Amino acid sequence: MGLVPAAAATFTLPTDGSTVVGQVLVVEPTGNNTLPDIARHYDIGYEEIARANPEQSVWTPHGAVVVPRQFILPPKPWQGVVLNIPQRRLYYFPETAKGQPPKQVITYPISIAREGWSTPLGATRIKAKFKDPAWFVPKSIRDEHLREDGVELPEYFPPGPDNPMGMLAMQTGFPGIFIHATNRPWGVGLRTSHGCLHLYPEDAAQIFPQMKVGTPVRVIDEPVLVGNDGSRWVMATFEPVDEYPDKVPLEQRVAQTLSTVPLPPDEIDQERVTQLATTPQPVPVALSASEPGLDDWLTELPVEPYNFEPYGIDANNALLPRLPASEDLELP
């Protein structure tokens, strides 16, 4: 039997000029679910759900839990794969007929490089794909683990459930950088890698057959995103990655991005802007003072019961789809 998360966030791209997809959800968990359980079910990373619920207990959440499943799309071009490192999120724009703009976007949370390491920025492509990959551990990584953790890693991990690369991997043109599954899915959304981008195993299984060798990949550093959801100008902010050379403070990045918003300065709620600049917030926040603030806006959303079983022992090999706790599904 396998218990599994909801389908990945797949959205039709807006055609009205708006640049926001999805919707924020509010759920009330039952049983022994944790924030990571809820996050994984809705294809959200740890950092996203923790930032959206700063007052909640990670391990024993109760009452209303905000699920930040609304996303401001990355800057164009919308083509192939876009990886926004501060947002810790991958966007995949499936290929359409030649000369036609993309019609959909699929987005997944990712783990990014740990402190002291980084993923190269810029453009590359998917160079190769591997099912059941083996991993030859670089000496620099073995030395780091021995120095910092006292753990002596083997030089080679064979294919299998103990391989940190998981069961599926896509090699980029950046040396040593892969987009791959992981045998430690609870790290998705955190800084856990040495430059690779980690996916939940079920997300890797979904994107792997769609991703062709040669698919363009663009890695960006955008800790501040602004967009229009069709009626509001909104902004979301994320923790900057200090390893990149352009170490502009978040406050300055917010000011730079705000200058692109076509709202009169006296219409912008400066208190909200200050909050976004000092405390990263993945939930898109309305910039206009005439729109409800985040807390008031969230209280207007319906609260849905969350009655899915915790992942438990199925955490590393989840499949699709996942059923509520009141139902059973026999999987081969």
Confirm if 106 and 94 have CB atoms less than 8 A apart.
Answer: yes
- The total domain count for the chain is 1
Domain assignment present for 149: no
**Tens of pLDDT, residue by residue, the chain (332 residues):** 233 445 468 999 999 999 999 999 999 998 889 999 999 999 999 999 999 999 999 999 999 999 999 999 999 999 999 999 999 999 999 988 887 889 999 999 999 999 988 999 999 999 999 998 887 888 888 877 778 778 788 788 888 777 888 889 999 999 999 999 998 899 999 999 889 999 999 999 999 999 999 999 999 999 999 999 999 999 999 999 988 877 788 999 999 999 999 999 999 999 999 999 999 999 999 999 999 999 999 999 999 999 988 887 666 665 443 444 433 322 22
**Enclosing domain of residue 258:** 225-293
Domain assignment present for 256: yes
Domain assignment present for 266: yes
Chain position carrying tokens 């389908």: 7
Domain assignment present for 272: yes
Domain assignment present for 243: yes
Does 194 qualify as catalytic in the annotation?
no
Domain assignment present for 254: yes
Distance from C-alpha of 25 to C-alpha of 236, rounded to nearest angstrom: 16
The active-site residue out of 41, 180, 194, 198 is 180
Secondary structure of 234-283 as H, E, C letters = EEEECCCCCCCCCCCCHHHHHHHHHCCCCCCHHHECHHHHHHHHHCCCCC
Does 196 qualify as catalytic in the annotation?
yes
State the burial class of residue 10 (Cβ atoms within 10 Å of its Cβ: 0-12, 13-18, 19+): middle
The active-site residue out of 41, 194, 196, 198 is 196
Distance from C-alpha of 293 to C-alpha of 271, rounded to nearest angstrom: 10
